[in-house]
Amino acid sequence: MGRWAVCVCAVALLAAAAQAQSDRQAMKQGHTLELSGGYSFSQFRLAGTETNMNGAIGAIGVNLTSWLQLRADASVAYGQLGGTPIRIYADHFGPRIFFRQTNEFHAMPFAEFLVGGSRLDFKPGGSGYSTADNGFSMKAGGGVDFDLTPRFAFRAVDMDYYRTPFLGEHQNNLWLSTGFVIRFGAGRT
């Protein structure tokens, strides 16, 4: 619940910054607010063991210009590592750059660099979930959206390098997600 409160506060601050911006013409070239959500998949490696994790992601973005967006996301992933159930919770924030162009496929590629925190929970020996570790994490990558209508898009893929800091070592993971996008505000020109 605290994660969502942080996301809502971040969005409110971003919206205020976007409103105070003097380049109003740039705002009219792109949607001002974007909500997205969907399925996530990650390959997670810890202590020489690798597991596939499934989960969900939700995000909100505020476009500062037609090509620059500030984005905040929250996610959860579930899996098992060596027979022990694990969960990873993550919150990230940062810029996303869109490569907006008119094309017949209505494709809109993007690149992003997000920083934040991740938490690894595990369930040793059948007891309740216990927090194992927290730390700074980052995602860097990109993806592509396909416009379905002026307000809705399908996020075909969002693929990131995902670095996590658990149990005294760093993990280099692959993060994939797919889902849908809803846009509010001015339409794309």
What is the residue-level pLDDT of the chain in tens, covering all 189 positions? 445 444 444 444 444 444 444 334 444 445 689 999 999 999 998 878 889 999 999 999 999 988 999 999 999 999 998 788 899 999 999 999 998 776 777 899 999 999 999 999 887 766 665 767 999 999 999 999 999 998 999 999 999 999 999 988 999 999 999 999 999 986 543
What is the model's pTM? 0.78
Q: Is residue 189 part of a domain?
A: no
Domain that holds residue 133: 2-184
Q: Is residue 148 part of a domain?
A: yes
Nearest to 143, CA basis, from 80, 48, 71, 90: 71
**pLDDT at residue 32, rounded to an integer:** 85
Per-residue pLDDT reduced to its tens digit, 131-155:
679 999 999 999 999 999 989 999 9
The identity of residue 69, as a single letter, is Q
Q: How many domains does the chain have?
A: 1
- In 3-state terms the chain splits into helix, strand, coil percentages (rounded to 5) of 15, 65, 20
**pLDDT at residue 110, rounded to an integer:** 96
**pLDDT at residue 22, rounded to an integer:** 38
Nearest to 68, CA basis, from 31, 104, 38: 31
Q: Is residue 136 part of a domain?
A: yes
CATH number assigned to the domain comprising residue 132 = 2.40.160.20
Q: Is residue 119 part of a domain?
A: yes
Q: Is residue 61 part of a domain?
A: yes
Q: Is residue 13 part of a domain?
A: yes
